[in-house]
Amino acid sequence: MSEAARPTRVLVLNSGSSSVKYQLLDMADQSRLASGVVERIGEKGDAGREGGDDGVADHAAALRRVAGELAGRGLGLDSPELAAVGHRVVHGGTRFTGPTLITDEVVAGIEELVPLAPLHNPANITGIKVARELRPDLPQVAVFDTAFHATIPEAAARYAIDTATADRHGIRRYGFHGTSNAYVSRAAAALLGREPSEVNLIVLHLGNGASATAVRGGVSVDTSMGLTPLEGLVMGTRSGDVDPAVVFHLARVGGMGTDEIDTLLNKRSGLLGLGGVNDMREIGRRMAEGDERAQLAFDVYVHRLRRYVGAFTAVLGRVDAVVFTAGVGENSAAVRAAALAGLDGLGIVVDPVRNAVRGSAGRLVSAESSRVAVAVVPTDEELEIARDTYALARG
Ligand code: AMP
């Protein structure tokens, strides 16, 4: 096929446990042709009601709905302009350290990693299988959320537990939000007018899930999430760091079972557990009304962030920028200001006026006097997945 006639569109699929998000991008100009989400998978509405927001039976039905929505806009999966499908896959273990062209063997490899990500990888695999059935002729690429962190040195990746036991069970720090970190650290370097290889960054991805990552010269050298996305920062519903003995105590003294504790720490903790709601906007509203629980949730959230900024400053030795991204990081001036308040000793000074300005573009919010830049950089995981997918599919 001549260069001009080569297909340039990439469909990005993010198959979660109860939803499938999709975006169709044209890599000729990186434009977004369509995007959407099918939610409530497995909650098929009663009496087979038809309707846009009705639940769907399973991932196969969800992907058929995605295909139907795209076809309705003249962008069907059968289009010859579609070059490839890119799949977000949460856990790549130590085996998948970069974007990978999907084969039967790769699917089997992702299946073997299910014990490390029992909630996420099965949904990702189903998405891959259904998409391959729909277009078996198309290149399909897996982009792993862990891959960016494959560079973390052993000193930071190892937990100090018996090595044989750890190795037998694959216990180590893998890290997540890798796709976001890859995109954001390149965009942050561009904002600073430097090459990624020249800058040291602390990337704070603060969404419903939240993580801090130390990026040295474009490469991850430490991150707050660990074996699973539970470790590290306070999140919407996850506790982040706790003394591991909390688990034994809840089992022995609290009489709780393993699944119950898992649910407590992953689904009923964080902002929700402390403040009664998982959304930072609502925490802010309640704080303004004098709600003490919401204030405590905010204070714990911000304190944990400062701890990681301090720790990763020491890990990196020299920091060029602290970079905020994702829902909270991009939108909450209050979190940014509070997390970095009083850190002028580390060379970090936020400018209150710049910080208060809202915007959708990457921007600096640090004071002129700040040795370390403070940046807000909107993340774009779908574009990053599409770029990786397109690069691999073109060969
Ligand atoms: P994400 O996972 O990146 O989509 O981020 C979702 C979270 O971002 C939500 O749960 C909110 O807590 C938070 N968020 C979104 N918009 C705002 C805002 N304007 N102010 C504070 N937090 C926000």
370 within ligand 1 shell (Cβ under 6 A): no
Atom of ligand 1 nearest to the CA of 282: 12
Nearest atom in ligand 1 to 209's CA? 2
- Residue 27 and residue 135 in one domain: yes
Name the DSSP letter for residue 13.
Answer: E
Asked if residue 157 is part of any domain, the answer here is: no
Give yes or no for a contact between 32 and 10, defined as CB atoms under 8 angstroms apart. Answer: no
pLDDT score for 52: 47
| Residue 38 tokens, joined | 């099918």
Domain count, the chain: 2
Q: What is the domain range of residue 41?
A: 3-144
C-alpha of residue 211 to centroid of ligand 1, in Å: 14
Residue 322 lies in a domain: yes
Whether 62 maps to a domain, the answer reads: yes
Residues 367 and 245 in one domain: yes
What's the CA gap between 300 and 302, in Å, rounded?
Answer: 6
What pLDDT score was predicted for residue 105? Answer: 97
Cα(5) to ligand 1 centroid in Å equals: 41
Q: Is 328 in the pocket of ligand 1 (CB under 6 A)?
A: yes
Ligand 1 neighbourhood includes 270 CB (under 6 angstroms): no
Q: Which residue reads 């100090």 in tokens?
A: 160
Which protein residue's CA is at the shortest distance from atom 19 of ligand 1? Answer: 331
Q: Do 39 and 132 belong together in one domain?
A: yes
Q: Known catalytic residues?
A: 145
- Asked if residue 83 is part of any domain, the answer here is yes
Please report the pLDDT score of residue 42 as a whole number.
Answer: 81
- Indicate if ligand 1 lies below 6 Å from the C-beta of 285: no
d(CA 311, CA 330): 22
- State the closest ligand 1 atom to the C-alpha of 379, by its place in the atom list counted from 1: 3
> What pLDDT score does 50 carry?
41
Please tell me whether residues 118 and 205 are part of one structural domain: no
Partners of 9 in beta bridges: 26, 82
Residue 190 in any domain: the answer is: no
Do 222 and 282 fall within a single domain?
yes
Please indicate whether residue 86, judged by its CB atom, sits closer than 6 Å to ligand 1: no
Does one domain contain both 98 and 211? no
Ligand 1 atom closest to Cα of residue 236: 10
What's the rounded Cα separation, in Å, for the pair 240 and 208?
Answer: 12
Q: Which two tokens stand for residue 64?
A: 């058929």
For residue 350, the 8-state DSSP code is B
Residue closest via CA to ligand 1's atom 9 equals 279
CATH number at residue 253: 3.30.420.40
* pLDDT for residue 374: 98
Give the predicted TM-score (pTM) of the model.
0.95
- Which stretches of the chain score pLDDT less than 70? 1-4, 44-54
Task: Based on the fold, state whether residues 32 and 119 are members of the same structural domain.
Answer: yes
* Res 58: pLDDT: 86
Indicate if ligand 1 lies below 6 Å from the C-beta of 263: no
136 & 200 share domain? no
Give the distance (Å) from ligand 1 centre to CA of residue 390.
29
pLDDT at residue 388, rounded to an integer: 97
105 backbone φψ class: left, alpha, beta (φ>0; ψ -120 to 50): alpha
Residue 292 domain-assigned (yes or no):
yes
The DSSP code sequence of 93-153 is TTT--S-EE--HHHHHHHHHTGGGSTTTHHHHHHHHHHHHHH-TTS-EEEEETTGGGGG--
Whether residue 206 sits in one domain with residue 280: yes
Q: Return the residue matching tokens 């629980």.
A: 293
* 138 and 204 part of one domain: no
In a mutational test of the pocket of ligand 1, which residue from 328, 331, 358, 377 has the highest number of ligand atoms less than 8 Å from its CB?
328
Give the C-alpha separation, 269 to 275, whole Å.
9
Ligand 1 binding pocket mutation candidate from 183, 281, 330 (most atoms within 8 A of CB): 281
Supply the pLDDT for residue 17.
78
Pocket probe mutation, ligand 1, options 280, 330, 380, max atoms within 8 Å of Cβ: 280
Atom of ligand 1 nearest to the CA of 326: 3
Domain shared by 280 and 139, yes or no: no
Task: Please report the pLDDT score of residue 44 as a whole number.
Answer: 62
User: Residues 361, 220: one domain?
Assistant: yes
C-alpha 97: how far from its chain's center? 16
What separation in Å is there between the alpha carbon of 280 and the centre of ligand 1? 6
Token pair for 168: 């037998």
Residue 134 lies in a domain: yes
pLDDT for 4 equals 54
Best CA proximity match to 225, nearest among 186, 246, 214 = 214
Distance in Å, CA 88 to ligand 1 centroid: 21
User: Is 186 inside any structural domain?
Assistant: no
